[in-house]
Structure formats: C-alpha cells, structure tokens
A and B are shown apart, each in its own frame.
Chain A
C-alpha cells in the first residue's frame, strides 16, 4: 500500500502572493545594494586608479 507523501507546509494563495512580493522586494534591494557598492567603489577610486607602479 502506498504511503501518501507529506507535502509539508502548503501556503494559501494570499500567503504565496505576499511571499512573492517580499521576495521581489528583497531582490530589488540586493540589486540596489550591488549598484551602490559599485558606484561607491568607482567614486572612491577616482580617475587615477590606473596610475600606479607595477
């Protein structure tokens, strides 16, 4: 006799929508953070980053 598989926690449609919205927000914030760190690095390095003794 087959044992029914435990599907674990099943979210309601409203909970799924909320989680998706939170995930999108987190994704956007991480993307923004990456852009901030990149822009900050460029701004801090300045235009003479290549002028160094090798």
Chain B
C-alpha cells in the first residue's frame, strides 16, 4: 500500500494524487485576459455587417474565449520557471506546485484543439484559422521565442491579443476587411504603451527573471520615447472607425476626448523622468490605457446595440 504525499514539487504528473482543484485549472486560463478577449471579439462580431444566429454567435464566442484560455495555459506551462521568480506571477498554479507543467500542457493542448474545431463547426473555417493562428502565435512565437529574445517581444506578440475582434468580425462575415483590420491595428498599437508603462514600474521583476523588456534592454529614456511615439500613432488610428463609417459620431467624440487624455498622460510619462512623480506618471498611463481601450470598444458596442434596439422598435 502506498500513501501518496502532498503534490508540491512533484514532477511525475501523478494525477491520481493531485490536490489541484477545478479553480486551479480555471486560473491557468487567465480569466481576466479571457474576459478582455470575449469583450473585443464581441465588439468585432456586433459591428460586422450581416447577422448570425444567436446560438452560433454564443458558441463561437465561447470557443474564442476557450482558445484564448488554452493559449494562456500553454504559456503558463512553458513559463513556470520564470513565473516562480516574479512577484506578480509566483502565486500561479504551476510555480506553487498545485498543477504540473505536463498537466498544463495537456490541458492547454486539448482545449486548443477543441476550441478551434468548435468555432470551425459553429461559424466558419476562416475564424477557426484565425483562432488557431492566435493560439500558435501566443503560445509558440511569443512565449517560446520572442519573450526571452528581444525587447520588441510585446510589440510583435501583441498581434495575438489584437486578433479577437478580427475573429469576431470573421464569425459573421467569413472575411477579413479593412474595418476588421482597423480594429486589429488599434489593439496592436495600443499594446506597447500599455505594457511598457507597466514594465517601467516592474522593471526589477523582469530583470530578475531575465526577460529583456524594453526598460531593461534599451533603458527607460528610450522606453518613454517609444511610448510617446506609439501613442502619437494610436490616437488618430483609434479615430479611424469613425472616419470609415464603422462607428458613429458618439464613438468619434469619445475617441477624440479619451485620445487627448491618453496623449497627455503619454507626454507626462515621457517628460517626467525621475522620482516618485515619474512612477506616478507611468502608473497613471498604465491605468488609463486600460480604460481607454475599454471605452473605445464599449462605445462601438453601445452604438450598435442602440441602433439594433431602434431597428427592432424597442
């Protein structure tokens, strides 16, 4: 008779004796990232011309969320050594020994295949291909290659986070158009100022883990300059849905005002470089960048929602 002991630090993948709870597997899916993915994919789905059966839309969005979660699990499986070194990530299920890397690989791998098949069957194979590309790009190209190789890691890797609205759009139209590319580009260009503002605050953590984030590899001055440059591109880009007619005047006004705030905060981050004020400027930019992206996509959604309600006579 063998009494299995606590699983912490085990490497045999003995599932029978695991203390992992469903919540630990849920945590592997990075639920907060998943909610952002669902939100932006929903925006892409709603603004797309045409219509789709609500059940198809719901299942496709669920598949998109599961696919994003699967790539998160694969990312955590590969990153366990680095996660253990950083304060922000040391409490994750693998570094704490609640789940093994092997279990996380299996979990992420199975969910990847299931999610891609599900969206392909429910919607179309273009959106399935886009989802598969997102998973491969995040789990392989970003996690395995870019993250530890170049300070441009989050610039290129940002493509994975930017694809969900394009997937949402493709669910309805079975196509990639200029409009869906604009939604992709907004998130793609938003990613560097957002993450570099965080990296300015957490650079010690990243240095300890040996990840060449921009502030460590190129210095904080260069990072602040690049944050400003990306924001200068981002703000007019965020106006494009209004210019092309994808969004209405309310979106245009919100993008203009919130873009002005974003510009101001990026300028503060660029110009205030020493002391607690510099940290505060980076923190303010990081916090507002989340609100900025949320506002843009929320207004896109609200405008279409109101138009639909009016169309239905509600």
A interface with B by C-beta (< 8 Å): 6-12, 14-15, 18-19, 21-22, 24-25, 36, 39-40, 42-44
Query: Does B42 sit within 8 A of A, measured CB to CB?
Result: no
Query: Does B22 sit within 8 A of A, measured CB to CB?
Result: yes
Query: Does B122 sit within 8 A of A, measured CB to CB?
Result: yes
Q: Are A15 and B18 in contact (CB under 8 A)?
A: yes
Q: Are B18 and A19 in contact (CB under 8 A)?
A: yes
Of the candidates A6, A14, A21, the one whose C-beta lies within 8 Å of that of B1 is A6
The 3 closest A-B pairs by CB, nearest first: A25-B22, A43-B55, A7-B1
CA distance A6 to B1 in the complex (A): 6
With A9-B17, A40-B122 given, can you name 6 additional A-B contacts, CB distance below 8 Å?
Answer: A9-B16, A10-B4, A14-B19, A22-B25, A40-B59, A43-B54
In the complex, chain B residues whose CB is within 8 Å of the CB of A12: 3-4, 17
CA distance A36 to B3 in the complex (A): 40
Q: Mark B99-143, 1 if CB is under 8 A from A, else 0.
A: 000000000000000000010011000000000000000000000
B: number of interface residues (CB 8 Å): 21
CA distance A24 to B21 in the complex (A): 11
Of the candidates A14, A22, A40, A42, the one whose C-beta lies within 8 Å of that of B22 is A22
Query: Does B155 sit within 8 A of A, measured CB to CB?
Result: no
CB of B56, distance to nearest CB on chain A (Å):
6
In the complex, chain A residues whose CB is within 8 Å of the CB of B17: 9, 11-12, 15
Q: Mark B1-23, 1 if CB is under 8 A from A, else 0.
A: 11110000000000011111110
Name 28 interchain pairs, CB-CB below 8 A, sorted by A: A7-B1, A8-B2, A9-B17, A11-B17, A12-B3, A12-B4, A12-B17, A14-B19, A15-B4, A15-B16, A15-B17, A15-B18, A15-B19, A18-B18, A19-B18, A21-B22, A22-B18, A22-B21, A22-B22, A24-B22, A36-B59, A40-B55, A40-B59, A40-B122, A43-B54, A43-B55, A43-B56, A44-B53
